[in-house]
A = this chain, B = another copy of it.
């Protein structure tokens, strides 16, 4: 590596004013899940902390670039913040996703060496989502897809999403499976004490989503799918040996599954993980043991975290320069094809 390592942060959020406004307006709407209402009230709420986040989510220009310099981040892979258009009505969601993607593509065009981005979609309109993946890949120069976990309680293993998964595979667009609050079918015990939020419920929701993709057999159908999990794999690296072990017991008890290989086979073949929101050297060390080392990328989770925490954690844990290069730059460059436009 003759050059200085480029620090690429891979889970960095933005929001359009219109999507922000409509998310805020969800509060009080009939039929809303309780944890979604709490999300809208707090993250999109009236506190000084919300105002701080909002200012940064809206900025795709100088403010963001200034903070990147302060944080030592050379490039951001930017995606529409959670829950994005997936919490909005079908009547507006498709159009708002397209607008968000246009806006993001414009910002990337203005700062091609500083920004890259993922395509927002409304998965429930499956054919439109597949078309938007194609448009993101072929017209907008976007490098993957952001899916903020469930949409109306449905997970990507649902058979209706096959055409969307096929498009992501066909256009080599990795899917970043990002957290949101637990789905309506599981939210009840997560509503109390803020457990729906990023401290617990987000990982419960997103880890489950990943497990559904693995256990449904969908990765036998789409073996080329590339899925990214933040937060050091949403717990899966901690559990993978037990998951395999209990999968075998379950099969011997006659509660079999349709998958062809052990769960860990799919995790190792189809998944990448990032360091977003994790400042724990012990957790990174576990991942370096349990996850292929070309599958771990840096992420800052801007503006929800100070990216310096996660970056310092990586630097204090990893001493091998080539591994450090891979985590901060090499793996992201390869996975997203980041050098195409430079």
Query: Which of A's residues lie within 8 Å of B, judged by CB?
Result: 38, 41-43, 45-50, 153, 155, 157, 182-183, 185-190, 192-195, 197-200, 203-204, 207-208, 211-212, 215-216, 231-232, 235, 238-243, 245-247, 249-250, 252-258, 263, 277-283, 285-286, 289-290, 304-305, 309
Q: Is the CB of A238 within 8 A of B200?
A: no
Give 10 new A-B contacts, CB below 8 A, not counting A204-B208, A280-B290: A47-B252, A153-B189, A189-B212, A192-B215, A193-B212, A198-B250, A204-B204, A238-B283, A241-B278, A246-B277
How close is A209's CB to chain B, nearest CB, in angstroms? 8
Q: Is there contact, CB below 8 Å, between A197 and B285?
A: no
Sample (7) of A-B pairs whose CB atoms are under 8 Å apart: A42-B255, A186-B190, A190-B208, A200-B207, A245-B277, A249-B304, A282-B290
By a CB distance below 8 angstroms, the chain B residues around A277 are 242, 245-246
Q: Bound state CA distance, A199 and B283, in angstroms?
A: 20
Note all chain B residues with C-beta closer than 8 A to A253.
42-43, 45, 47, 49-50
Residues in chain B near residue A182, CB distance under 8 A: 186
Contacts of A278 in B (CB 8 A): 241-242
Q: Which of B38, B241, B243, B285 contacts A286 (CB 8 A)?
A: B285
Closest CB of chain B to A114's CB: distance in Å?
Answer: 26
Once bound together, how far apart are the Cα atoms of A185 and B187, in whole Å? Answer: 7
Residues of chain B with a CB closer than 8 A to A186's CB: 182, 185-190
Query: Roughly how many angstroms separate A41 CA and B305 CA in the complex, as a whole number?
Result: 45
Give Cα A337–Cα B257 distance, bound, in whole angstroms: 43
Given A190-B186, A193-B212, A212-B195, do A280 and B235 touch, yes or no (CB 8 Å)?
no
Specify which of B42, B46, B286, B305 is in contact with A283 (CB 8 Å cutoff). B286
Distance to closest chain B CB from A69 (angstroms)? 24
> Please, which residue of chain B has its CB at the minimum distance from the CB of A196?
B255
Q: A257–B194 contact, CB under 8 A? A: yes
What is the bound-complex CA distance between A280 and B257, given in angstroms?
24
**Residue ID in chain B nearest A254 by CB atoms:** B47
Contact between B255 and A38 (Cβ–Cβ < 8 Å)? yes
What separation, in Å, do the CA atoms of A188 and B155 have in the docked complex? 12
Contact call B246/A235, Cβ cutoff below 8 A: no
Contact of A239 among B189, B200, B245 (CB under 8 A): B200
Known: A212-B189, A254-B42. A243 touches B197 (CB 8 A): no
- B185 touching A243, Cβ below 8 Å: no
Contact A185–B183 (Cβ < 8 Å):
no
Residues of B within 8 A of A239 (CB): 199-200, 203, 235
Q: Which residues of B contact A281 (CB under 8 A)?
A: 289
Shortest Cβ distance from residue A71 to the other chain B in the assembled complex, whole angstroms:
16
Is A194 in contact with B215, judged by CB distance below 8 angstroms? yes
Contacts A192-B212, A247-B199 known; A45 to B254 CB distance under 8 Å? yes
- Looking at the complex, which one of B48, B155, B263, B286 makes contact with A189 (CB distance below 8 Å)? B155
Min CB distance A33 to B, Å, is: 12
Bound Cα distance A277, B245 (Å): 9
* Most central of A42, A199, A304 by chain B CB within 10 Å: A199
Contact, CB under 8 Å: A198 / B285:
no
